[in-house]
């Protein structure tokens, strides 16, 4: 598996994602949209040897949704013949900063702007991590084209998109990413009506590609192999009752 080398560092990365959370995001505890192995990031000016994103570099993330939850729980992402894909784009790098403490090197990159779009498409034709991702994107007719075909079902904006790659003196490393998101459309669509106005976090593991302790088996031209989720508001359970039973509580 591509990410098997991450080991304990991957768990530490998820702790780092938790450290990002603040403010209203504390209520974003439900999985709304999840993606796993079939997601890849690429950008114009990324240096593998240093996990470095140059200022002004444009980041894109493509992927296949593996699970819907919360207000979208009735949507089956595994339906044969139908796929749900996404593109995050418009993310402009502010440059990577590097800090070394006690032999641990941390590479932090903050991206400005950003939007995302999610599509429903039949048949399943987006390339996957099982040997199907073509090298050196963008590739006409494949990446990102096969992730943005079909019917547009949700759109949104991203803010404060941040990646952190932590490399330990042992050679192991881990990574995480997070961003604030807000659903903005597709107005009138059945999916948007369920999540309209939702503002929470999207984040997860950021398995960066690098020649210095990074992923060597990610296809050429990709900078990371992430997995993660859009969090949504916690779902409040509702119990059926009667007016008579409620009045009994106050006697």
pLDDT digits (tens, 9 = 90+) for 134-167: 999 999 999 999 999 999 999 999 999 999 999 9
More confident residue, 62 or 172: 62
Least confident of 28-32, 77-81, 184-188: 184-188
Cα–Cα distance between 118 and 41 in angstroms, integer? 16
HSE, CB side, 13 Å, CA atoms: give it for residue 91. 31
Is the model's pLDDT at 97 over the cut of 80?
yes
Burial classification of residue 187, based on how many CB atoms lie within 10 Å of its CB (0-12 exposed, 13-18 middle, 19 or more buried): exposed
pLDDT digits (tens, 9 = 90+) for 221-249: 999 999 999 999 875 544 444 545 444 44
Least confident of 35-44, 147-156, 193-202: 193-202
Is the model's pLDDT at 107 over the cut of 70?
yes
Average pLDDT, the chain: 84
User: CB 54: neighbour CB atoms within 10 A?
Assistant: 14
Least confident of 53-62, 86-95, 238-247: 238-247
User: Torsions phi, psi of 70, nearest 5?
Assistant: 55, -130
Cα–Cα distance between 115 and 183 in angstroms, integer? 10
**Mean pLDDT confidence for 45-66:** 95
Cα–Cα distance between 221 and 41 in angstroms, integer? 9
Cα–Cα distance between 119 and 83 in angstroms, integer? 8
User: Torsions phi, psi of 43, nearest 5?
Assistant: -150, 165
């Amino acid at each position: 598996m591509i990410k098997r080398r991450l080991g304990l560092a991957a768990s530490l990365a998820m702790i780092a994602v938790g450290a990002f959370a603040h403010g209203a995001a504390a209520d974003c505890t439900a999985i709304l949209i999840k993606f796993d192995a079939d997601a890849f990031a690429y950008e114009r000016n990324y240096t593998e040897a240093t996990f470095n994103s140059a200022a002004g570099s444009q980041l894109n993330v493509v992927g296949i949704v593996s699970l819907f939850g919360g207000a979208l729980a009735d949507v089956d992402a595994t339906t044969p013949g139908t796929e749900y894909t996404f593109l995050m784009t418009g993310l402009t790098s502010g440059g990577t900063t590097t800090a070394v403490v006690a032999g641990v090197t941390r590479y932090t990159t903050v991206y400005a702007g950003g939007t995302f779009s999610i599509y429903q498409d039949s048949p399943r034709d987006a390339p996957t991590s099982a040997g199907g991702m073509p090298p050196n994107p963008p590739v006409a007719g494949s990446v990102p084209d096969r992730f943005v075909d079909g019917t547009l079902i949700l759109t949104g904006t991203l803010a404060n998109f941040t990646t952190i790659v932590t490399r330990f003196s042992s050679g192991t490393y881990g990574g995480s990413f997070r961003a604030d998101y807000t659903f903005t459309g597709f107005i009138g669509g059945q999916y948007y009506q369920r999540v309209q106005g939702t503002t929470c976090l999207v984040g997860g593991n950021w398995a960066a590609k690098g020649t210095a302790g990074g992923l060597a088996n990610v296809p050429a031209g990709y900078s990371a192999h992430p997995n993660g989720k859009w969090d949504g508001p916690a779902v409040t359970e509702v119990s059926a009752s009667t007016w008579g039973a409620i009045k009994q509580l106050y006697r």
